[in-house]
Amino acid sequence: MVDSHVRGVQVKENIKFTPSLSEQRHKFVLDFVRKHKPQKVADLGCANCKLLWRLKYHESIEVLAGLDIDENILTRNIYRLHTGAGDYLDPRERPLTITLYHGSVVEKDPCLLGFDLITCIELIEHLEAKELSQFPEVIFGFFSPTTVIISTPNSEFNPLFSGKTLFRHPDHKFEWDRTQFQSWALDAARHYGYSVEFTGLGEPPPGAEAVGFCTQIGVFVKTIPNTVKSLHDEKTIECAHTTVGTVIYPSLKEEKYLRKAVSNEVFSQILKMKRVLLESLKMKNDNDNSDELEFVKPKCDESKNDPTEEIPKPFCIENVFYVPLERLFSFPKIKHLCGDLETLKMLIANEVMLSSDGSSVMINTVDEEDCDLSDNDGDDLRFV
């Protein structure tokens, strides 16, 4: 039976954290990724893949890996990582490959070399004594990532849980207090060339501050860089993990997806400009019989030094609407996607009709007044 008092504080029937400790641990990792923007991240003991699922939305990450000793749980949960229709409609700017591996965290395998961040969330307390002794050499010595985040229960907090037995989970082989964890972490950091900072999650109730956080965390940062020779030697070691599955996400680094994204944005901007022009033509036709009419911008509060004033404007000759590529390139999203005017021209060359000198997109204005942008996929524009 748990003592009724912990350092002078009466134990509550139920201690609940809002958000849950699991959510807080994931948020800690996500905040770290958001701040430091690692490109290659591995989650050891990934289990249900929820953390990997959340990490995949961070644009900085290009490689995600998950490792777990339970192959069945990986097979059941890989669906969380599959691509969906939205991933193709709005591709990532950077490529992303996610791979799940089945194997032990104390097996050396070159597949987890060269990572910026490795997370071990509530993992080490599940290791047998022999595995725990091997763990630092594999994680810090062999994998040797730039950063390692390790979380584990703080046993000093346990008496605050009503009805709690020795450990918080039946599969835990041990649970450390803060002194034990920090001693282990500092020894590993010194031996393998890391610094380590300690923090935690799960505030104790008022009056029990002395027991510390419910979850204790060590953030290890590499201080001694790997040598080229050591990396070469490590890559020659035979693979120990088996691949459960790999998911490759579409990205704008692939030309077919970049071409589609640029074309969609070009079509959208052309339709908007054309609608403005058609409205202005209706007003001007009664007073001006010239065959060529320029684009009239809608009235709005603008700076007198509008930089777009120097950019060629759209115009209409008879039933043909001309949109200069320079005008299209002035839109921030198109400029960001293409980088330069020549790339814009190359990407849309097979999607639109260009003028004879290649400087403008040409479309027919007849019977297009009622086009619905929400249904437009680029095919309803009538090109000359």
How many helices, marked H, and strands, marked E, lie in the chain? Answer: 11, 15
Tokens linked to 324 = 């200069």
Confidence at 164, pLDDT banded by 50, 70, 90: low
H or E, element range at 7? none
Strand partners, 68: 102
Share of the chain above pLDDT 90, in %: 68
Predicted structure pTM score: 0.81
Tokens linked to 158 = 């346990």
Could you tell me the sign of the dihedral formed by the alpha carbons of 48, 185, 220, 24, in that order?
A: positive
Non-local (6+) Cβ contacts of 333 within 8 A are 265
The predicted-structure confidence for 190-246, as pLDDT tens digits, reads as follows: 999 999 999 999 999 988 999 999 999 999 999 988 765 565 566 678 889 999 999
Confidence at 377, pLDDT banded by 50, 70, 90: very low
Domains of the chain: 21-249 (3.40.50.150), 255-290+306-364 (no CATH)
Question: What does DSSP assign to residue 124?
Answer: G
Contact 280, 296 (CB under 8 A): yes
Confidence at 92, pLDDT banded by 50, 70, 90: very high
The predicted-structure confidence for 25-38, as pLDDT tens digits, reads as follows: 999 999 999 999 99
Q: What is the mean pLDDT of residues 136-157?
A: 97
pLDDT over threshold 50, residue 126: yes
Tokens linked to 111 = 């597949």
Non-local (6+) Cβ contacts of 251 within 8 A are 91, 92, 93, 94, 95, 96, 257
The predicted-structure confidence for 284-321, as pLDDT tens digits, reads as follows: 765 665 555 555 444 444 445 555 568 898 988 888 88
Tokens linked to 342 = 């020549």
